[in-house]
Amino acid sequence: MPARLAILASGRGSNLQAILDAIHAGTLDAQVVGVFSDRPDAHALQRVPEALRWTRRPKTFADRAAFDAALADAIAAVAPDWVVCAGYMRILGAEIVQRFADRILNIHPSLLPRHKGLHTHQRALDAGDAEHGASVHFVNAELDGGAVIAQATVPVLPGDDADTLAARVLAVEHPLFLHVLQLAAAGRLRACDGLPLIDGQRLFTPLSLQFPAS
Ligand code: GAR
């Protein structure tokens, strides 16, 4: 049976599109069973049929916990094997993390633990980093703090601004995320006490994957 993926996305959805394309091409044995967004105008939603879309405005809920509870119920209703944060820009509360413990993956545009949070590309430039990149990690209750599974690195080039650097990182995000999702879909990736196991072996350092950067 193809792995059931619940995708959380707040924006453009290029990572979601890469997932859909890989499924279509037969290189990812998975099925997108729902796309969940905190932003009704997120372009990501347009990439799947209406029946797969769930979106609510957080402001219409009493508080963060109420929004998270509604989101968690909607995710649970599609019985996912994996919850995949693909450009989801809200912090997941402790309860939702607990409910899907060890089954939530996130892609973050930095070489974690460097540059958690927002504006990672500008912060890499401001820090004078020679290298930047992206990380896929398990989600825990700490912002961008879960165990890192795999990373891809790109060079920071003279003359880069945040946009050129973001584009170079995005080009490696897609194959990086797909690599990890292929492991997950094949049942080769698990978490034990929040730490990644691949083929049953504890991963002590993140996989370092090389892709041609744009
Ligand atoms: C990606 O760069 C992803 O790494 C980042 O948002 C972008 C979404 O692009 N995620 C975060 O910053 C999460 N903290 P996309 O909507 O085109 O996939």
Angle (CA) 87-189-214 rounded to 5° is: 45
Q: 143 is written with which tokens?
A: 């912002």
The residue whose CA has the least distance to atom 8 of ligand 1 is 87
Q: From the alpha carbon of 109, which atom of ligand 1 is closest?
A: 4
Does an H or E element contain 207, and which?
strand 207-209
Lowest-confidence range among 15-24, 173-182, 204-213? 204-213
Where residue 212 falls among pLDDT bands split at 50, 70, 90?
confident
Q: 150 is written with which tokens?
A: 């795999």
Q: From the alpha carbon of 13, which atom of ligand 1 is closest?
A: 16
Q: Which of 97, 133, 130 is nearest to 115 (CA)?
A: 133
- Report the pLDDT value the prediction gives residue 214, as an integer from 0 to 100: 46
Our answer to whether residue 132 is catalytic in this structure is no
Q: Is the pLDDT of residue 193 over 90?
A: no
* Residue keyed to tokens 């950067």: 213
Domains of the chain by start residue, with CATH: 3-209 (3.40.50.170)
Residue 16 Cα to ligand 1 midpoint, Å, equals 10
Interhelix angle 162-185/14-25, nearest 10 degrees? 40
Q: In the beta sheet, which residues pair with residue 133?
A: 153
Q: In the beta sheet, which residues pair with residue 16?
A: none
Residue 15 Cα to ligand 1 midpoint, Å, equals 7
Gap between the Cα atoms of 32 and 167, Å rounded = 25
Gap between the Cα atoms of 153 and 187, Å rounded = 26
Residue 14 Cα to ligand 1 midpoint, Å, equals 8
Q: In the beta sheet, which residues pair with residue 152?
A: 134, 209
The residue whose CA has the least distance to atom 3 of ligand 1 is 87
Q: Which of 24, 108, 115, 179 is catalytic?
A: 108
Length of the chain: 214
Residue 60 Cα to ligand 1 midpoint, Å, equals 24
Q: What is the pLDDT of the chain when averaged over all its residues?
A: 96
- Report the pLDDT value the prediction gives residue 158, as an integer from 0 to 100: 97
- Report the pLDDT value the prediction gives residue 213, as an integer from 0 to 100: 59
At residue 57, the 3 state secondary structure works out as coil
Q: 195 is written with which tokens?
A: 């730490």
Q: Report the pocket of ligand 1 as residue ranges, CB < 6 Å.
A: 9, 11-15, 44, 86-87, 107-109, 134, 170, 173
Does an H or E element contain 98, and which?
helix 94-99
Q: What's the mean pLDDT in 73-88?
A: 98
Q: From the alpha carbon of 170, which atom of ligand 1 is closest?
A: 2
